[in-house]
Amino acid sequence: MYRILEKKLLASNIYLMKVEAPRIARACLPGQFVIVKDNERGERIPLTICDYDAQEGSVTIVFQTVGSSTYQMALLNEGDAFQDFVGPLGNPSDLTKEPLEELQKENILFVGGGVGTAPVYPQVKWLCEQGIKCDVIIGAKTKDQLILVEEMQQVAGSVYIATDDGTEGFHGMVTGKLQQLVEEEGKHYSRTVVIGPMPMMRACCQLTKKLEIPTIVSINTIMVDGTGMCGACRVSVGGKVKFACVDGPEFDGHQLDFDEAMRRQGMYRTEEGIARQRELDREQGIQQSCGCGCGGDK
């Protein structure tokens, strides 16, 4: 069992949990993920690691309640425990494999959208620990949906905020802020790392391709099984078949077939919604129909 040491509500339906997992904490690197299961019958959920502390023996995850399983997970509190907490899985960020003397010559920009800010944080923190400061854009629909701003400010060079409704920082999407930094403020970036909703990452890649800035994206949200067994996270990168969980989760954003990836991601949203609605109906005492017309409970 893996005890929850800390739980925070970061924003509406977005939770942070620090979990006691010493062996994972000693082995993980930025960019990797874990698979969690809250109980014996629970769903296996892949989640990118947000932070880790080898000395404390803790791993931090951030998740948003979008389906039945994540809603159940959000009911856990400090002192409760996960049945399973497996990792680290996936490949660490390429940044961790490159010579530090080469990284120090670069000017890197990270872009985090919504919950995607969480997996951006460990990469920025790791670079800071190597004496390298980078710029970060954090985006959200509104001010109340921004997460990890203060934490990011402690490890990044400059942090820029963009909200769709203009309630904080730049009024507009992260692509607008990125374009402003490059074209109006004269910023020069050797590469960008973009993590967030699929449409946001695609829009950023379309812009960075025009600006000729190499771009890495993380498609952790498309994973289901997380071990390469189910094939649900199969995508095309540069015309070659890749699996997000074992070949990624980070890929060249200019080579990724976003249309295919978004179609694949959308295949599971309906099932998540149906499962959550059934759960709500049960809570309210509403009889479930099996769909055959008999009026029975499925």
DSSP, residue by residue, 272-283: HHHHHHHHHHHH
Does the structure show a pLDDT above 80 at 295? Answer: no
- Sign of dihedral through CA atoms 139, 143, 148, 151? positive
Report pLDDT for 293. 42
Report pLDDT for 159. 97
Q: Tell which wins on pLDDT, 162 or 222.
A: 162
| Ranges 11-15, 56-60, 267-271: which has the least confidence | 267-271
**What is the overall mean pLDDT for the chain?**
87
Domains of the chain as residue ranges with CATH: 2-89 (2.40.30.10), 94-218 (3.40.50.80)
Mean pLDDT of 281-290: 50
Span 85-134, pLDDT tens digits: 988 998 999 999 999 999 999 999 999 999 999 999 999 999 999 999 99
Q: What is the phi/psi pair of residue 252, to 5°?
A: -65, 115
Assess whether the previous peptide bond of 199 is cis (omega < 30° from 0): no
Report pLDDT for 291. 43
Of the ranges 31-40, 147-156, 257-266, 288-297, the best mean pLDDT one: 147-156
Per the CB < 8 A criterion, the answer to whether 85 and 156 are in contact is no
Span 48-59, pLDDT tens digits: 899 999 999 999
Please tell me the total number of residues recorded for the chain in this structure. Answer: 298
Mean pLDDT of 70-82: 92
Report pLDDT for 199. 92
| Ranges 121-125, 185-189, 283-287: which has the least confidence | 283-287
Longest CA–CA separation in the chain, Å: 69
Supply the pTM of this predicted model: 0.85
List the structure tokens of 93: 């960020």
Span 218-258, pLDDT tens digits: 988 777 766 777 777 788 899 998 988 888 889 999 999 88
User: Backbone dihedral region of 134: left (phi > 0), alpha (psi from -120 to 50 degrees) or beta?
Assistant: beta
List the structure tokens of 208: 């960075």
Helix/strand/coil for 243: strand
- Sign of dihedral through CA atoms 102, 103, 108, 113? positive
